[in-house]
Chain A
Amino acid sequence: MSAVSLAEPVPLHRGGTVLMRPTIIPGFRLTLGITVTYLSVIVLLPLAALAVKAAGLGFGGLWTALATERVLSAFKVSFGLSLVGAAVNAVAGLLVAWVLVRYRFPGKRIIDAFVDLPFALPTAVAGIALTALYAPNGWVGALLKDWFGMKVAFTPLGIAIALTFIGLPFVVRTVEPVLQDLPPEEEEAAACLGASRWQTFRHVILPALMPALLTGFALAFARGVGEYGSVIFIAGNMPGVTEIAPLLIVIKLEQYDFAGAAAVGMLMLLVSFAMLLVLNLLQAWMRRRHAR
């Protein structure tokens, strides 16, 4: 039987309406059809509805909806504190990844699995738990109040803590595999050439981890900007001080200000897409670094 030569790359041909490489496997049109239809109905058309609604305002309408004190400060709170949370996670996440990859201690595998808790725990549960913990009468909140006179819950600091919690797994999970695959030869070479352990870390290990670290940072940041459930309980939600952008959308929807909500939503969406682009570039950089 003369089998079709499948190993050789064949140029793309026009199969139906889509350019595809010929194959004997069936189901291309069926699965592509279902995929594109479902994607369009669930994701693309609704997002388009948002764009249409926002565009309907016109440039002037968008400007009046967005250029208010309240909207601007909500964006400042969301972006600024997400940046803080992501920065804390970049440092702490690197530490956790380092300890989990490089050292051996009892319970390590369980702790490694536990790092994904913020992904698995519903955000509302995280929100009320963190609030109970950091409220002035909570386990941690009471200590901070007595020792430092610090108020955490219902202040921007509380939001930063919630965003740190929610972004924790991102840095750990992006740095871990890269740290694992780091060739020991480079560190050995550095040590042979007389580098101290710190110098090796600073000049050999850290640069190799940088793309992964930045990717994790960006993922945690992007997640933080859109986060709602874990933040609104601990935030206190004072307009201009601890009101986040997603909450502003909810408030506008509750007041039937659909145009205003759409304007804020559209701006957030555009920023998310810009972040997505940055992330894709970062990941391409990461792949190039590891393809060496």
Chain B
Amino acid sequence: MPGEAHASRSTLVEPLWLRAALIVAALAFLGLFLLLPLTVVFVEALKRGVGAYWNALQEPDALSAIKLTLMTAGIAVPLNLLFGVCASWCIAKFDFHGKHLLITLIDLPFSVSPVISGMVYVLLFGLNGLLGPWLREHDVQIIFALPGLVLATIFVTFPFVARELIPLMQEQGTEEEEAAIVLGASGWQTFWRVTLPNIKWGLLYGVLLCNARAMGEFGAVSVVSGHIRGETNTMPLHVEILYNEYNFVAAFAVASVLALLALVTLAAKTVLEWRFGHELAATRRGG
């Protein structure tokens, strides 16, 4: 702790009352902006008792929304995982022109509004889109169907795995891989036996964050979904529909499942940082 070394000297540390006041102010802010919204989700969900809560989750539309969310994330996350590993191998293990541009482009989806992330696919694949007429002729539906949801989800979660792995693999350098190759290992063997064990926790970390965003994404999928109940409604979209129908208990019940997912993600992420911090990129290591 940097604070302890000079804690004895009064000129280097704030008086007790000020310290207490600052801690109380910070906790009050966090309580108001983080704890209260989280608490209200569960309180509203359980307002009419556990029975009503349970019924809201058993409703066919809710179940199909849960299924669709799992399916969308189940396709989008593995694809982004594969891409993330490829991109970070290429960027961290080789030196080439245009590398910084490539890194910037990979990060690009983070600076695009989710609504725009969805809209670009509507402009491309929608009925009046650039490829719309061709798709209609060949009877392929992308917008207002699962492929559109998956594409929009991939777009918004695109950088997660890559941006965890790139700094980590850059830090680790190329010496271990070079040693393996010199000793006669093939490229695949080197990846599976040398690189993957080195990056496994960073990879898990990236996948966790990617998955949380994939399951919780709202703006982008809202634009491409068409909001067909029981068909193209993911969980966050289902929350919106229920809420707008003033069915608050059901809306918060589905929302509470998403909130639980967020809490589990936070807990897993924190455990990874505490337990395997030294195997994550420097930017992720806790204090």
Contacts and interface: CB of A to CB of B under 8 A. Distances in A.
Given A43-B105, A275-B111, 9 more contacts: A20-B95, A27-B187, A113-B267, A122-B259, A129-B37, A133-B40, A184-B6, A197-B14, A228-B218
Contact of B119 (A111, A227, A265): A265
Interface string A76-118: 0000000000000000100110111111110001011111111
A191 interface: yes
Contacts of B235: 122
A233 interface: yes
A245 to B, nearest CB: 8
Nearest to A121: B262
A42 B124 contact: no
Interface stretch (A46-54, A63-71, A146-154): A46-54
Interface residues of B, number: 110
A269 B33 CA distance: 29
B251 A128 contact: yes
A220 interface: no
Contacts of B259: 121-122, 125
Interface in B100-134: 102, 104-106, 108-109, 111-116, 119-124, 126, 128-130
A175 interface: no
Contacts of A112: 286-287
A25 B194 CA distance: 12
A139 to B, nearest CB: 7
B239 interface: yes
Interface residues of A, number: 107
28 contacts: A24-B181, A27-B93, A31-B89, A35-B90, A35-B106, A36-B102, A46-B120, A49-B129, A53-B123, A95-B26, A101-B3, A101-B287, A102-B3, A105-B23, A113-B270, A115-B34, A124-B255, A126-B37, A129-B37, A165-B37, A184-B2, A197-B12, A197-B14, A229-B219, A229-B236, A249-B115, A256-B128, A258-B126
A129 B114 contact: no
By secondary structure, the A interface counts as helix
Contact of A43 (B12, B36, B158, B269): B158
Contacts of A191: 9, 11-12
Contacts of B35: 114
